[in-house]
Chain A
Amino acid sequence: MNAAHWDLEPHSAEEGVPPGLGVVEGDAIPYQAWAAARKKENYANRAALDPINKCFLPGVPRIMYVPFPFQIAQTPKYVVLTHEYQHATRIVYTDGSPHAPPNDFWMGDSRGRWEGDTLVVDVTHFNDRTWFDMAGNFHSDALHVVERFTPLEAGHVMQYEATIEDPKVFTRPWKISMPIYRRAERNLQLLDYDCVDFFWLRMRPKR
């Protein structure tokens, strides 16, 4: 359990925001100067600007630490992650296939391979429309993410790491890491947080 979704970097509590030790290796996200200024603007206007507040897909790695459960179905050729949040779906191809042709995907295009017990996933073809958290940390469409999923501790915990690279925004690649805990409830199933449904219910109709 961590406060990454509110802010990847170490931060104090605010009203409605739990404090966090930070999940960024080295604590600080290495923004280029222009990008650091833009991040400050994002933060100042985060209620209006955070794309998740319009029910847009959270992107990767954000979908991995939104506070909603997800489920993995694994076959030899596919590792499929399905998320309770906005029924987001990630198909990780472990069949050796190349990336899809370039496109503006919200959740990127994921191709995985095994290195020992670690699933390494290469994610590309992002658009520039998602944030990494609620604090305004952002990226461009040059974003490239490499994730590492490593089972620990008799299958109850998984170590999750994501290396984030974006030469248009950051001065160097940087990394987040956190444990992900297996849910122990019997007969657990994902329910449905259909953000878009609530979005329409909230909107005052013009017609």
Chain B
Amino acid sequence: MTQRFFGTLAAVTALVITTGQIPAAGQSRGGNGEGATPSFEPPRTPWGDPDLQGHWLPGGGGMMETPAGEPWKGPAFRPTDAAFSNFFPPEPGSAAPARPRTPPRPMVVDPPDGRIPMQPWAMEKRTEIMAKQDRVEHLDPRVRCLQSGLPRANLPVGYNTYQFLQIPGYVVLLYEWNHMYRYIPLDGRPHVSPNIRLPMGDSRGRWEGNTLVVDVTNFTDRTWAVGHGAPPEGAPASAISTGHGVFHTEALHVVERFTLIDANTVRYEATIEDPKVFTQPWKIQFNAFTRAPADHQLFEYACHEGNGRNVKLMTGFDIDK
């Protein structure tokens, strides 16, 4: 199975820019993700944009949605098996700041009932997907080490941290898990051709006051829009609150809003639209990013390379041989 790279130029596009200061660490604790965005005057880059740069830890997540069905009470159910929001438990004696407590409400803030508004056929398909996680065609794409998609990449998961960089004309987001990156151009250029489909979509950004607004289109249909934490074992789709199994089509359109609400917290909102799957656009909101300790670095997280056990179970192919 040889891959043949019929060459294009091995080439580089280099952007050589200076950037601004890292914001001085403040100690204020931000809001809890509810209601209107608090007003906070962020530090600025030398060219005057709000400065979101630095290393970030996953913020408190909580439930994605209010389950549509009855709470799951399977035989193995214990309250502690429910969705895990605390993926980066503070190490004893660590210098990591305490993460803001997430309110006891779902991340889904619209529709007001907190449920992901799937069309009936889509809910049936989601139920099938969650019931048949032992099939490759339904298996969670993250488990297969595909890229997370959006807004899922910004949901709190274990072993993932972030680094934000800014250079004139771009915001660059780096994701530790599976070494993903997003370049977000700010120059108002149009999206790429609809013939081009990208797992992480095609991002176009602009500043609205102190909020970075990112319009994302051109998705493939091979990711899930959301899904974090651990749904209870054996639970049907209607009883889970974690957002697993929320598939989408190439019509997916996501609009994100990143706002620094205090020196150490970035609030994240995403409006998710796919008229083939959902009955309406819906919105999530939570404090997704908490400033990491000063000496934090991203380390390489090679996903597929260590995924041999999964690959072998699902396909019989041994990548470790």
Give A residues with C-beta under 8 Å from B: 1-6, 16, 18, 46-47, 50, 52-57, 64-76, 78, 80, 82, 87-89, 91, 93, 97, 100, 103, 105-107, 109, 129, 134, 155, 158, 180-183, 187-192, 194-197, 199-200, 202-207
Contact = CB atoms under 8 A, between A and B. Distances in A.
A189 B12 contact: no
Given A71-B183, A72-B13, A181-B12, A53 B163 contact: no
B298 A197 contact: no
B135 interface: yes
Interface residues of B, number: 63
Given A74-B16, A80-B174, A190 B314 contact: no
Nearest to A75: B19
A86 B6 CA distance: 16
Contacts of B96: none
Given A16-B4, A56-B304, A87-B179, A69 B13 contact: yes
B85 to A, nearest CB: 27
B16 to A, nearest CB: 5
Q: Is the interface of B mostly helix, strand, loop or mixed?
A: loop
Interface-central residue, B181, B185, B297, B298, by most chain A CB under 10 Å: B181
Interface in B192-231: 192, 196, 198-200, 220, 222
B146 A106 contact: no
B136 A57 contact: no
B136 A203 contact: yes
B199 A100 contact: no
B137 A205 contact: yes
B13 A82 contact: no
Contacts, number: 190
Given A107-B300, A129-B305, A207-B314, A183 B146 contact: no
A47 B1 CA distance: 6
Nearest to B178: A87
A164 B113 CA distance: 60
Closest 5 CB pairs of A and B: A205-B136, A75-B19, A203-B315, A67-B7, A89-B179
B9 interface: yes
Given A75-B17, A106-B300, A183-B11, A196 B146 contact: yes
Contacts of A189: 183, 185, 192
Contacts of A182: 11-14
Nearest to A199: B304
Nearest to A105: B300
B3 interface: yes
Interface-central residue, A47, A70, A196, A197, by most chain B CB under 10 Å: A196
A144 B261 CA distance: 43
Given A67-B9, A75-B17, A100-B299, A47 B2 contact: yes
Given A55-B304, A87-B147, A107-B300, A80 B14 contact: no
B15 A72 contact: yes
Contacts of A202: 1
A196 B178 CA distance: 11
